[in-house]
Structures are given as C-alpha cells and as structure tokens.
Structure 1
Amino acid sequence: MSFAAFARATALHPEFRSGAREMLHVSLGVAAWGLVTGVAMVKSGLTAPLAVLMSLLVFAGSAQLAAMPLIASGAPIWVVWATATCVNLRFVIFSAMWRPYFARIPRWRRCLCGYFSGDLSYVIFMKRFPVPDPAPEQEPYFWGGVATNWAAWQGSSLGGIALANVIPVEWGLGFAGVLALLGVACSLLQDRATWLAAGTAAGAAVAAYALPLKLNILVAIAAAVAVGLGIEAAEEAHRRARERTEEAGR
C-alpha cells in the first residue's frame, strides 16, 4: 500500500476520529507546554530557524526543555546528548509496550509511529486498548491521537518561537511549563512501580541539586530507572515463584 492510499484509508476510518477526539481533551495542556518550549528555545539563544528545525526534528518537549539550559550555559555537547537521551529513555518502554500491537505493520510505518508517538498518546492508547491483541482499528486510533497531539504541539511551539521576543518574562511561562509537565507526569502514575520511581526521581533531583550543569537531572533519571527495573524484576520473580508453587500443588 502506498503512503497516499494508507493516509487516505486511515483518515477515513471511524477510529481515527475517535482517537482525535480523545486527544482533544488534553490538547490545551499540550499547547501550553509547546508554547513554553518554543519561547524557551529562543530565550536560550537559539536563532529562530534553528529553533524551528529543533521543534520539527526533535519533537520531544521534555528533552528540549532539559537541553536548553545546558546549551545556554555552554555545557559540553556530550552532557547535552546524554541528558536528552536519558530523558527520552521512557520511549524505549513505550515502544516495547506498543510492539505487540504494531509488530505486524511495515517497518516504514513503525518508524513513523516512533516519530509521532508521545507520552499522552501512549496513555490514551493503552486506556483504549489495554489487552495487546492486534486489531485493525488500533492503528487508525493511534494516528488520530498522534495527529492531534502533533498539531497542537507544533502549532503552539512555532507560535512561541515567533512571539518569543514580544512575550514578557513576567508572564511566568516557565511556571506554566512546569505545571504542564506535572500534568503529563501525573497522568502516567498508574501503579506502585511508577509511583515509587517518580518519588525516587524527585528525591534524587533535590538531593543532587548542587551538581553543576543540571546533572541532578541525570541522577534523578538513573535512580528512577534503577528503581523501576528493580521493582519489575522483583514482581516477575514473585510471579514465577507463585506459578511454580501452583504447579507443585497440582
């Protein structure tokens, strides 16, 4: 199937409109986050063309916001790359969770899914399809959600870039961005493992706040990943032990 035929068939599918409607409910928060990121990129010293290029190519608000202070402070490039990579490690988990749904589709479409995927897209998709049984309506639903998310983000981000020099600092957009990030983070706290990982990250970030070049972000991410992986390993070991006990009792 060609790209044009795929895009047309997907856009006309009822689940595409359903996914778009679900994402509309949170698009205002996404737009606020995008606006803050667009302003922050220009305020940090990027020229408007570079900021536009970063917004379109990177499309990762948390990574962009984490990298901006490092770029502005003249941090080594390896620190910038390492920070952005660590912030985006969650997408490795998202990809692993999406794999049962999309493993059957062509690779070029999976690559497109990877670029357009986002935190809230993942949350909304998993609420709609909690059981990983592949079905034809899943991909159109996914594209409806990510299309709305991408449009809300890029429109507001490009608007922030264009208006960065006329928006007063006194408006407190940085605080609005923090609130938007908190909203996204809280929507992802769904079980004990994520709550413990989030709490660990918060504590580690505060404890390591004195580190230079915002390295407390890397410390917080590393601590959260370690806790999350440890909890998952413990739960898997407990599950296997329970299965062995049940088999021995039969």
Structure 2
Amino acid sequence: MSPSTVALPVPTWRHPEFRRGAREMTGIALGIAAWGMVTGVAMVKSGLGVPLSVLMSLVVYAGSAQLASLPLIASGAPIWVVWTTALCVNLRFVIFSAQWRPYFAHLPLSMRLRVGYFTADLNYVLFMRRFPEPKPAPEQLPYFWGGVATNWTSWQSASLAGIFLADLVPTHWGLGFAGVIALLGVSYSLLHDRASWVAAGVASCAAVAAYALPLRLNIVVAIAAAVAIALLIDHAPGRRRVRR
C-alpha cells in the first residue's frame, strides 16, 4: 500500500460522534448556563472576590459542591467542615467513575485524569443513554468530548459572566433560591428509578429534620442518609434477584 492510500486518523472534533455529543448537550445548555451564572454571582456575593472566584470556577468546576461550600466559607466554618461537605456532595462522582470504568479503563492515565476533570452529571446521563452496553468502542471518547465542549463552555462562560457582573446584580433578587431551583432541576434529571426517588425523599426529610444543626451540617446528614438507604435498597434480596 502506497503512502498516499494510508488513511489518516480523523481529528476528534471532526468525528460524527463529537458533533452528536455536542448537539445532544445543546438541548440542556441553557439550564447549565443559568446554573453557572447563579454560581458565579454567588461566589462573589459570598465575599470570595473576583480572582478567587475565577480560580474556583476553573479549578473546582463542581457547581453543587461550590454552592454547598460557599455559605460555610462565608460564615467562617472550619476548613474540615468545608472539605467534608464538598466531598459528600461529590460522592456521586465515585459512582459515575465506577460506571465509566468499563468504557475508559483502557485509556492512559493522563487521558483518564482529563476525563475525570471534565466529567459532569449530565455528561454521564447522556453518555449512558447513548452507550448502554458497558464495553469500550472507538466512538465513545469523541461523543464524550463533544458533550464536554458544550457543557464546559456553557458553564464556564456563564459562571465567569456572573463573576464579573456580580456587582450589578442586586442581592434582593434571591439568587440563593435560584441556585436551589437549578440544583433541583439537575437532581430531577438523575432520578430514573424507584431507588433513586426513595433516596432523594429520605435525603429531603433528613435535611429538614437536621436543619437546626450548626454550619449547615444538615447537608452532610442528608447525604449520609441518602447513601445509607441507597445501599440498603441495592443489597435487598429482591433487587439482587431482579438483576440476575
């Protein structure tokens, strides 16, 4: 075979699955942008300042953890409480990683680290809907990066806009409530079976029951209760038989 007939690898951004991933994520990009803007404004309003807010947006890139930790930072909570809260809020990514392992475990460590940074809730939802069979395929990574291109850009552009325009947004607009609504929208998209609905209900009840705890530790209590009930349901004999 002559060199002129050798097929060159197609760049990821030109792969059909890249375009498909970006297109499917576009449908929810407006909600992601709204959530990002709320988070950007909230970071500045909590007293972080513009430089630290920009750093947090680009490095942390975890809206729910950012919104959960901001009130603790603003109230002067001990750093271990902030870290514990952020860790508990992001425990779901451990589950995402376990679910993604059959697809991406064969990739080099550097690539897996990049995938880990860009992983987001809705990327996970759309990816699993597109590739329900847990085995690697060449088109999976382009699809993932296509979704990431839309998701990350929507989030960061809106978050940075919120950071730089925060002083123009009156505090009485109730952005904290808007952030809660945005989180509820994302959470609702992840409730796909009875077990997840039960866990969400238990978490809600636990958060209300423990509301009087200081430093918003009711969030940690709610997460612990949700994880506990989810594990109980997952290991119930009837559920194990259904899987088989």
- Give TM-score scaled by structure 2 length: 0.93
**Equivalent residue for 2:44?**
42
Which of 115, 128, 131 in structure 2 is aligned with 1:129?
A: 131
Change (3 A) 1:237 1:181: closer
Post-superposition offset of 1:104 = 1.2
* Superimposed CA distance per residue, residues 205-224 of structure 1 (whole angstroms, 9 cap, x where no aligned partner): 00000000000000000000
Which of 180, 201, 204 in structure 1 is aligned with 2:203?
A: 201
> Counterpart of 1:132 in 2: which secondary structure?
coil
Amino acid in the other structure paired with 2:110: W
**Equivalent residue for 1:99?**
101
Q: Which ranges of structure 1 fall in alignment gaps of 5 or more residues?
A: 244-250
**Equivalent residue for 1:247?**
none
> Counterpart of 1:130 in 2: which secondary structure?
coil
Post-superposition offset of 1:202 = 0.4
Post-superposition offset of 1:235 = 4.9
Post-superposition offset of 1:230 = 1.4
Post-superposition offset of 1:238 = 3.5
Contact 2:203–2:225 (Cα < 8 Å) also in 1: yes
Amino acid in the other structure paired with 2:178: A
* Superimposed CA distance per residue, residues 25-79 of structure 1 (whole angstroms, 9 cap, x where no aligned partner): 0011100110010011111110210100000000000000000000000000000
Find the aligned partners of 2:174 and 2:41 in 1 and give their Cα distance.
Answer: 11
**Equivalent residue for 1:72?**
74
**Equivalent residue for 2:150?**
148
**Equivalent residue for 1:11?**
13
Matched, 1:59 2:61: yes
Change (3 A) 1:60 1:236: farther
Find the aligned partners of 1:29 and 1:188 in 2 and give their Cα distance.
Answer: 15
Find the aligned partners of 1:24 and 1:177 in 2 and give their Cα distance.
Answer: 21
Q: Tell me whether 167-176 or 16-25 shows the greater mean CA deviation.
A: 167-176
Amino acid in the other structure paired with 2:162: G
Amino acid in the other structure paired with 1:212: P
**Equivalent residue for 2:3?**
none
Which of 225, 228, 231 in structure 1 is aligned with 2:230?
A: 228
Post-superposition offset of 1:237 = 7.2
Post-superposition offset of 1:101 = 0.7
> Counterpart of 2:211 in 1: which secondary structure?
coil
**Equivalent residue for 2:5?**
none
Matched, 1:29 2:36: no
Root mean square deviation, CA, Å:
1.8
Aligned residue-pair number:
237
Change (3 A) 1:235 1:15: farther
Post-superposition offset of 1:171 = 2.7
Amino acid in the other structure paired with 1:55: S
Amino acid in the other structure paired with 2:231: L
Find the aligned partners of 2:59 and 2:141 in 1 and give their Cα distance.
Answer: 23
Post-superposition offset of 1:185 = 0.3
Q: Which ranges of structure 2 fall in alignment gaps of 5 or more residues?
A: 1-7
Post-superposition offset of 1:236 = 7.8
**Equivalent residue for 1:163?**
165
- Give TM-score scaled by structure 1 length: 0.91
Q: Tell me whether 123-132 or 60-69 shows the greater mean CA deviation.
A: 123-132
Find the aligned partners of 1:232 and 1:39 in 2 and give their Cα distance.
Answer: 39
Amino acid in the other structure paired with 1:19: G
Q: Tell me whether 131-140 or 200-209 shows the greater mean CA deviation.
A: 131-140
> Counterpart of 2:106 in 1: which secondary structure?
coil
Find the aligned partners of 1:235 and 1:217 in 2 and give their Cα distance.
Answer: 30
Post-superposition offset of 1:133 = 2.2
Post-superposition offset of 1:179 = 1.6
Find the aligned partners of 2:160 and 2:232 in 1 and give their Cα distance.
Answer: 40
Find the aligned partners of 1:168 and 1:56 in 2 and give their Cα distance.
Answer: 25
**Equivalent residue for 1:192?**
194
